[in-house]
Amino acid sequence: MVKQIDLSRVDINLLVLFEVVLQERHVGRAADRLNLSRSAVSHGLGRLRRLLNDPVFIRTPKGVVPTDRAIELAGAIAEILDRVRSVISTAEPFDPAMSSRRFIIGAPDGVSAVILPPLLETLRQNAPGIDIGLRQLSPMPGETSVERAWRASFTELEAHAMDIAILPVEQIPPRFHRTMLYEEDFAIATRSGHPYTMCPSLEHYCALQHLVVSLAGDPYGFVDTALAELGQSRRIALTVPNFMFALAVLSETDLVAALPRQFVARYAAPFGLVLHEAPLPLPQFRLNAVAPKAALLDAGLVWLLDVLSGAKRVGPTTQARR
């Protein structure tokens, strides 16, 4: 027979303490966030150890590290706290027109640039008191698997570093909800009047100097993999850390780049750029808004997901050329 736990003896604040210490990995910083003294946090950790029958956090010269048991419990505790927060938030119905909440959205910069204009317009019309924080997400350097490349984003969602993550992944852990926002593929971007316009062949494309967006400066990407399958290669003359910088460089040079079509289409005109169909098959993918399933009890978060999925994605465009 399963032993019945007397919940009246359990202080939920200990779970909050667990969450904050896990995020900060430092007793002093956790104390500052919780507006407590270091001794109060240390005392709370002692109670938490007795409650969970585990050391939970091990002290080191640089802070604390979680035990294996703490890491094992982290997901369940985050879900419990999400549900408690959601229950409390539903005590007062969510009204976007009157709300003054602030949501954090994580996304790669090329995606943020696509979703932000329609999102801001919706907020201006329907939710003028709501604020948005954008958190730039990047794949893990050197990771070839798309799903594994973005796994840190799931950890950040569970740590409440952001409310929603917009990711180019299809396979997500079952504890997360996914809403498809839009489909994306790649096109070749050049400045207007670029020589490539006159001869958009694979041979000409490979002979040009290329720009690649890479936060880590890695001069190899999915295009190189596709070219290698055709027995071709290219010269990557420049890597830059973000997509908006790439547009500025392309507008003033003869470099070419394979970039997300909807992103370039929105900003092609201001930068004087032209889109061309790729001379080789390139990947297509979906952008999905991801949030913990437990967080869907929050009516405000559900509203934001609906806004993101319903907003028009692309504004003024420059027609792709063949």
CA dist 108 and 121 (Å) reads: 20
Cβ neighbours of residue 60 under 8 Å, at least 6 residues apart? none
CA dist 302 and 292 (Å) reads: 11
Is there a shared CATH topology between the 102-182+285-310 domain and the 184-283 domain?
yes
Cβ neighbours of residue 239 under 8 Å, at least 6 residues apart? 211, 212, 213, 214, 217, 218, 219
Q: Which three-class secondary structure state does DSSP give residue 43?
A: helix
Token pair listed for 18: 């667990």
Task: Parse the chain into domains and list their residue ranges.
Answer: 7-89, 102-182+285-310, 184-283
Domain spanning 7-89, CATH architecture: Orthogonal Bundle (1.10)
Q: Closest by alpha carbon to 262, among 112, 107, 120, 119?
A: 112
Token pair listed for 225: 């993999």
Q: pTM score, two decimals?
A: 0.70
Q: In the CATH scheme, what is the homologous superfamily, with its name and number, of domain 184-283?
A: Periplasmic binding protein-like II (3.40.190.10)
CA dist 294 and 173 (Å) reads: 13
CA dist 300 and 95 (Å) reads: 8
CA dist 179 and 165 (Å) reads: 10
Digitized pLDDT (tens) for each residue of the chain, 322 residues in all: 445 566 666 788 899 999 999 999 999 999 999 888 999 999 999 999 998 899 999 999 989 999 999 999 988 888 888 777 766 665 567 899 999 889 999 999 999 999 999 999 999 999 999 999 999 998 887 666 777 788 889 988 887 889 999 999 988 888 899 999 999 999 999 999 999 999 999 999 999 999 999 888 888 888 999 999 999 999 999 999 999 999 999 999 999 999 999 999 999 999 999 999 999 999 899 999 999 988 888 889 999 999 999 864 444 444 444 4
Amino acid at 193: G
- pLDDT score at 93: 78
- pLDDT score at 131: 94
- pLDDT score at 319: 44
Quick one: which H or E segment has residue 310? helix 299-310
- pLDDT score at 295: 84
CATH class of 102-182+285-310: alpha beta
The residues that bridge with 59 in the sheet, in sequence order, are: 64
* DSSP code string of 57-121: EEEETTEEEE-HHHHHHHHHHHHHHHHHHHHHHTTS---TTT---EEEEEE-HHHHHHHHHHHHH
Amino acid at 144: T
- pLDDT score at 6: 61
- pLDDT score at 92: 64
Q: What is the DSSP letter of 321?
A: B
- pLDDT score at 83: 75
Output phi, psi for 89, to 5 deg.
-65, -25
* DSSP code string of 209-267: EEEEE-TT--S--HHHHHHHHTT---EEEEEESSHHHHHHHHHTSS-BEEEEHHHHHHH
